[in-house]
Amino acid sequence: MDLKEVHSFILNFLLKKVDMNIIITKNSEETRSIASEMAKNILSVQSQDKLAVVIALEGVLGAGKTTFTQGFAEGLGLKDDVRSPTFVILKEYHMELSDKNLRFKNFYHIDCYRLKDEKDIKDIGLSEILKNPENIILIEWAGNIKKALPKNCIKIKFYYISENKRKISIQ
75 binds, among ligand ADP, Mg ion, none (CB under 5 to 8 A by kind): none
CB atoms within 10 A of CB 165: 13
Length of the chain: 171
Which residues would be at the binding site for Mg ion (CB under 5 A)?
65-66, 84, 140
Residue 66 CB burial class (10 angstroms; 0-12, 13-18, ≥19):
buried
- In the bound state with ligand ADP, the residue whose beta carbon lies nearer, of 9 and 159, is 159
Give min distance, CB of 113 to Mg ion, in A.
Answer: 7
- In the bound state with Mg ion, the residue whose beta carbon lies nearer, of 30 and 58, is 58
Query: Closest residue (Cβ) to Mg ion?
Result: 66
Give min distance, CB of 140 to Mg ion, in A.
Answer: 5
- In the bound state with Mg ion, the residue whose beta carbon lies nearer, of 7 and 65, is 65
Give min distance, CB of 68 to ligand ADP, in A.
Answer: 7
How far from 140 is each of 17, 18, 57, 59, 164, CA to CA, in Å? Answer: 25, 24, 5, 8, 20
Which residues would be at the binding site for ligand ADP (CB under 6 A)?
25, 27-28, 30-31, 59, 61-67, 84, 140, 158, 164-166
Give min distance, CB of 56 to ligand ADP, in A.
Answer: 13
- In the bound state with ligand ADP, the residue whose beta carbon lies nearer, of 30 and 52, is 30
Q: 12-46 in b/e burial notation, b at 16+ Cβ within 10 A?
A: ebbeeeeeeeebebeebebbbebbbbbbbbbbebe
Element (H, E) at 158: strand 154-162
